[in-house]
Amino acid sequence: MPLVAHTPLPTFDLLREQGEEVLELGHALHQDIRELHIGFLNLMPNASFKATERQFLRLVGSSNQIVQFYIYLFTIEGVDRDEDTQKYIDSYYTDFDSIKEAGLDSLIITGTNPANPNLEQEPFWKPLGEVVDWANSNVTSVLCSCLAVHAIVKQLHNIERQRLERKRWGVYSHRITHTRHPLLRNINTRFDVPHSRNNDISAEQLRAAGFEILAQGPESGVHMAVSPDMFRIVFLQGHPEYDRISLLKEYKREVNRYFVGERENYPDSPENYFTPEVDQIVDSFKIRLEQTKVNGQSPPAFPEQEIEPYLDNTWRDTGKSIFDNWLGLVYQLTNVDRHLAFTDNVDPDDPLKIK
């Protein structure tokens, strides 16, 4: 059921244009429907900040629960922001102090691009730890993506992520390993998920700390796991939120980084993602790009529009089902009485703030 546009966030309008159901605040307040209040901690870098916001909100809004979803977007210090992204945050995001005061039913934490070999060296490490400590005691369930998984298991269980020999990048097949867990209700026993990471938390490390592995693959490793209490924290090392062209956009950025000298080698193609037709296109483009680089010329235009028709999304339906199951469990386990305070505290004149 629908997201509620309780702030002027532009993503709500974009999702409407894409066919998603989004309720206006006035309409939502007059419906006799229970709501869930979900925090969204966006740690992604500037280039993918808005896209990640849209992708996760779409997954939440596609859930089939008979409930209204209020999303509270915030970020923390320690992630570099350019002027445009910071202006967007100042206009449409709230702050963690307001989140703590009002409370949440659940929380989503995105990944980000690490800049240091050890997570404790990251500027966002301490602020993220404060969010995790608070959420661990005050939120029904936390869903973590990619680097957020690595940060939380380090903080709560002192598990060190392991550097991979090569980047795990592409679309990988996974199998369910726990058929009776409620998060996997009506999920295909085999499904695809994109991955994009340089580090890994292994099944052995997680099991040693009492975690339950729900889905993993022979190439990708663990995709989905849950904390020892079976629900408080849900880990996703993969990216079910990705759009069909997300890996293509990332590949394009890496090619551009190579051309300007920010990386030494030409990037490999994402695994199990490009078709033979796309391989021909990108191989031809690589030859032309290398020639212009040697000759000191401007790079040719990346053939994005030529590639797009050959790409498939083989993971979105499973991602929707997992989010549906997760929010269904949050709905069942969250204290109903507390929701009256949320509705009373919505300020129609300034919906970004919680009274």
- DSSP bridge partners of 39: 72, 107
Q: Is residue 30 over pLDDT 60?
A: no
Residue-wise pLDDT tens digits, 209-220 = 899 999 999 999
Q: Tell me the backbone φ, ψ of residue 4, rounded to 5 degrees.
A: -110, 125
Residue-wise pLDDT tens digits, 162-204 = 999 999 999 999 999 987 899 998 899 999 999 999 999 999 9
| Angle made by CA atoms 127, 340, 327, in degrees to the nearest 5 | 60
Tell me if 224 sits within 8 A of 215, measured CB to CB.
yes
Tokens of 122: 């990251």
CATH of 3-243+313-345, one of 3.40.50.300, 3.40.190.10, 3.40.50.880, 2.60.40.10: 3.40.50.880
Model confidence band, residue 340 (pLDDT cutoffs 50, 70, 90)? very low
> Which residues are catalytically annotated?
146, 239, 241
How is the chain split into domains, by residue range? 3-243+313-345, 246-310
pLDDT in the model for residue 229:
84
Give me the amino acid identity at 124.
F
Distance in angstroms (rounded) separating the CA atoms of residues 272 and 162: 23
pLDDT in the model for residue 27:
66
Give 188's contacts (C-beta < 8 A, 6+ positions apart). 176, 318
Model confidence band, residue 34 (pLDDT cutoffs 50, 70, 90)? confident
Mean pLDDT of all residues belonging to the chain: 89
Tokens of 179: 């058929």
pLDDT in the model for residue 345:
45
Q: Measure CA 243 to chain center.
A: 11
Distance in angstroms (rounded) separating the CA atoms of residues 237 and 223: 5
